[in-house]
Chains A and B, each alone.
Chain A
Amino acid sequence: MAESNDALDPTRPAPQGAGPDGAQGPTPGQPALPEALAAARAELERLHEGLSFRELDDRLEVTAPVERLLEVAMTCKNELGYRLLMSQTAVDWKDRFELVYHLYRLDSAYPIVLRFDLPRVESPEAPSLTPFWPGAEFQEREIFDLMGIVFVGHPDLRRILLADDFQGHPLRKDFEQDPHYVLMPHLRIPGYAGAVKGETSTGRFLHE
């Protein structure tokens, strides 16, 4: 074993530039108190209007209109230090879409959960976080792919998990799979492989 290699030494202190404000990372076994969340809430209330809050014992939920998405996210990142964009997701409530973002600090166990409502239209739009969090790129593509929410400002908004020519957005509650959808249409041999609307895939074993 290479003893000279200090990376293997667990008692070595964390290097410089480890945290947002020079913090040496989380103190062992001590998640930051929820007072940090109260301070965050006060700061957000001071800087922005139109926000509504919900304080729970393990997170702070901030609901805002979509126009405020970038401002609120930027405040959380820059002023409040919530630099880790852990999760971006969307939920299809049948009367609206809801974007739910979880932001974490490096030294705290308690996240800020941002929630934004979008109208339940064919292609709702929301601003993209990619200019500030490059890690949002794939997550927003996934939300676009599966839910159909268009992120304005995204450098490369196209489908990521499904085939490029897939129709529809499957995670929506009103998605109906075309039972005759075929992934590789150029391999279809009529009557033998690959279904056409109105037939079964082989054309021979019809259940009549």
Chain B
Amino acid sequence: MSEITLRTEQTISTFPMDTDDGTLVVNFGPQHPSTHGVFRLVMKLEGETIVDAVPVMGYLHRSVEKLSESRTYLQGVPFTDRLDYLAAMSNNLAYALAVEKLAGIEVPERAEYIRVIMVELNRIASHQMAVGSLANDVGTYYTPFIYCFRDREKILDLFEMVSGQRLTYSYIRFGGVSRDLPEEFVPACRKLLDELPRNIDEYERMLTTNEIFLARTRNVGVLPPDMAIDYSVTGPVLRASGVPYDLRRAEPYSIYDRFEFDIPVGTVGDVYDRYLVRIQEMRESAKIVRQALDQLPGGPARASLPKVMRPPKGDAYAQVENPKGVLGYYLVSDGGPNPYRAKVRAPSFINLTALRPLVIGHKVADSIVILGSFDIVLGEVDR
């Protein structure tokens, strides 16, 4: 066959498939256990080295932005859960902050603290998933993954306690949170925080000094800091490259300026650094949750708002530090009950711009590890 015709009649317009130069075009995804979702990477190989790679996405595109234009602001909250479904609390928070900026809503103190607790617990859960699936991509056949998930289940139990959901919570809404914490939450959360450092030590015992893990991840997919900034990369990938940019410090939203925590920063910018940054971020998030529990005040958990929000005309852009990067919500209001334009600045989508230059020159096996270290969630990439 001189030409490979794809079943969907889409041809890759970036490079021709049939050439005599000895290269092989291999398709990776969209159905593949290591693509972290329905993501497709078409690779042009010379032997086992990647010469070019074209990411193809859009398999999970659900037109969230267009749908938001025909829903009220409150009806748009469940959409936010389903963007980065592994860190739904942070997505909720970004949207809530954007609507609050747009409409000038004040949030009660207790709600702010509850939000921080939920978002940081979600960060731990998301990083546990990220570390577990990175270990999977490297080839540890689900052992660290299950350790990470064993502890992630405890966090999901806490979330089920407050919102009734395990994955897509719609808990943090503009004006506060949807309902106050039940009584059994704080003791259960403290119990989790007591066990968490030992659990993270367990993951590290398995991976951090493991010579196979080091051999697979050291100096693989090195992203220099200037390149990272030019590629608009944010999140742990940017910090692993040596740029100490964390939105919780650079642009403290909510009440993050009241907590003491550090920003882990890498040196080399390889896959190993990204793994270390995520491990350390889990520890820092546990610190933040502990401080928030100690400072948790009483009071209402949500502001009283009209039944249908009609923010004044204008626009607002709010960003949060998601576990994957910076999630931004740009909302434009025309005075009506629906947003005129709701735009999601998705970190996984923008971080993927840097995938292609990083992967070229590496072997196929490395490309999977690099993709795993980017920690993408297709719900966010495609919206």
Minimal Cβ-Cβ distance residue in A for B61:
A161
Contact flags (1/0) for B1-35 with A, using CB distance below 8 Å?
00000011111011000000000000000000000
Verify A29–B8 contact, CB threshold 8 A: no
Sort chain B's interface into a size bin.
Answer: 35 or more
Verify B249–A2 contact, CB threshold 8 A: no
Verify B250–A86 contact, CB threshold 8 A: no
Verify A184–B8 contact, CB threshold 8 A: yes
Known: A84-B232, A102-B328. A139 touches B225 (CB 8 A): no
Instruction: Give the segment of B117-125, B130-138, B153-161, B257-265 that binds chain A.
Output: B257-265
Verify A17–B343 contact, CB threshold 8 A: no
Query: For B65, what are the chain A residues with a Cβ–Cβ distance below 8 Å?
Result: 146, 171
Docked CA distance A161–B11 (Å): 15
A152 within 8 A of B: no
Instruction: Give the segment of A67-75, A105-113, A193-201 that binds chain B.
Output: A105-113
Docked CA distance A102–B316 (Å): 11
Sort chain A's interface into a size bin.
Answer: 35 or more
Minimal Cβ-Cβ distance residue in A for B284:
A10
Known: A26-B250, A107-B250, A138-B352. A158 touches B13 (CB 8 A): yes
A206 within 8 A of B: no
Docked CA distance A2–B226 (Å): 28
Verify A86–B266 contact, CB threshold 8 A: no
Most buried by A among B225, B245, B340, B352: B245
Docked CA distance A28–B63 (Å): 38
Contact flags (1/0) for B219-246 with A, using CB distance below 8 Å?
0000001110111111000000011110
Minimal Cβ-Cβ distance residue in B for A102:
B317
Docked CA distance A84–B245 (Å): 11
Instruction: Give the segment of A34-42, A44-52, A120-128, A162-170 that binds chain B.
Output: A162-170
Query: For B252, what are the chain A residues with a Cβ–Cβ distance below 8 Å?
Result: 29, 31, 109
Verify A7–B266 contact, CB threshold 8 A: yes
Minimal Cβ-Cβ distance residue in A for B272:
A7
In addition to A24-B244, A84-B245, A184-B8, 15 A-B residue pairs with Cβ atoms within 8 Å of each other are A1-B205, A7-B266, A7-B273, A18-B265, A19-B243, A25-B245, A25-B263, A84-B229, A109-B252, A133-B231, A134-B231, A136-B232, A159-B58, A161-B383, A165-B10
Chain B positions within 8 Å of A, measured between CB atoms, are: 7-11, 13-14, 57-58, 61, 63, 65-66, 201, 204-205, 208-209, 225-227, 229-234, 242-245, 249-252, 257, 262-267, 273, 276-277, 279-280, 284, 315, 317, 319, 326, 328, 330, 332, 340-341, 343, 345, 349-350, 352-354, 357, 382-383
Chain A positions within 8 Å of B, measured between CB atoms, are: 1-2, 5-8, 10-12, 14-15, 17-20, 24-26, 28-29, 31, 59, 83-87, 89, 91-92, 100, 102, 104, 106-109, 111, 113, 132-139, 142, 146, 156, 158-165, 170-171, 183-186
